[in-house]
Amino acid sequence: MAKIDLESLRQMLETLGVQDGPGLSDLERAFVTLGLATALPCLNRADIDAAIEAAFRQGATTTQVQEIVSLVSGLGVHSLMVSTAAIVARAQCVEGLNTTFSSEQQALWDARVGDDPFWEGMEAELPGFLRSMLLLSADQFEAFFDYCAVPWKSGTVRAKVKELVALASDAMPTHAFMPGLRLHLRNAVKLGATRQAIEECLALAAATPEHTGVA
């Protein structure tokens, strides 16, 4: 299993000036545990059943439980994040792919990305990802934004908690997706996440078992 560079994360917390404060509430911990259990790198039926039961026991609603599961199901887009720029680079060599946006592509870019600072953060962690995805498939580009927006539409789970769930999911030893972890960590801190809450999320992630398959 991959290892998370905890020392680098601690240095990042220092740089971001993360404040001390209360850790996760029981409900927040239940949400993080649910996210980890239902994320693709774990996906264990027994753990999922236990996590769903625990979330409801802590007062979660059906909509909130679905929101968390929808959020972590987006881990599948990491396949796109890691591969699209490489595909475009190879396609330029093999097929002479045109990397200048058409007017239609530019309109899509302006509508979906524009000057939103969130996507600037993603570009910093995954250079060329969004641009490459649009060059390869306008359908995929639009579908990416539509799918990733789903868990944010209902808003029954606070944005800070969703960012903590996402960073925990990216921190699982069987996934260790550092670009996403750094991005969600910064977002969580901006939304008021404390050092103790973040460290609890990392500890919960570190304790997740290897994926043994779904019968």
Under CATH, which number does the domain 6-76+150-206 receive? Answer: 1.20.1290.10
Q: Does pTM surpass 0.85? A: yes
60 φ/ψ angles, rounded to the nearest 5 degrees: -65, 150
Alpha helices by DSSP H, listed for the chain, are 6-16, 26-38, 45-57, 62-73, 78-95, 103-112, 117-125, 129-136, 138-153, 159-171, 178-190, 195-206
Sign of CA dihedral 87, 113, 40, 206: positive
- Which sign does the torsion angle of CA 32, 76, 163, 82 carry? positive
Instruction: Per-residue pLDDT tens, the chain, 215 aa: give them.
Output: 566 777 788 888 888 888 889 999 999 999 999 999 999 989 989 999 999 999 999 999 999 999 999 999 999 999 999 999 999 999 999 999 999 999 999 999 999 999 988 899 999 999 999 999 999 999 999 999 999 999 999 899 999 999 999 999 999 998 999 999 999 999 999 999 999 999 999 999 999 988 888 88
Domain positions in the chain: 6-76+150-206, 78-148
What's the chain's Rg over C-alpha atoms? Answer: 18
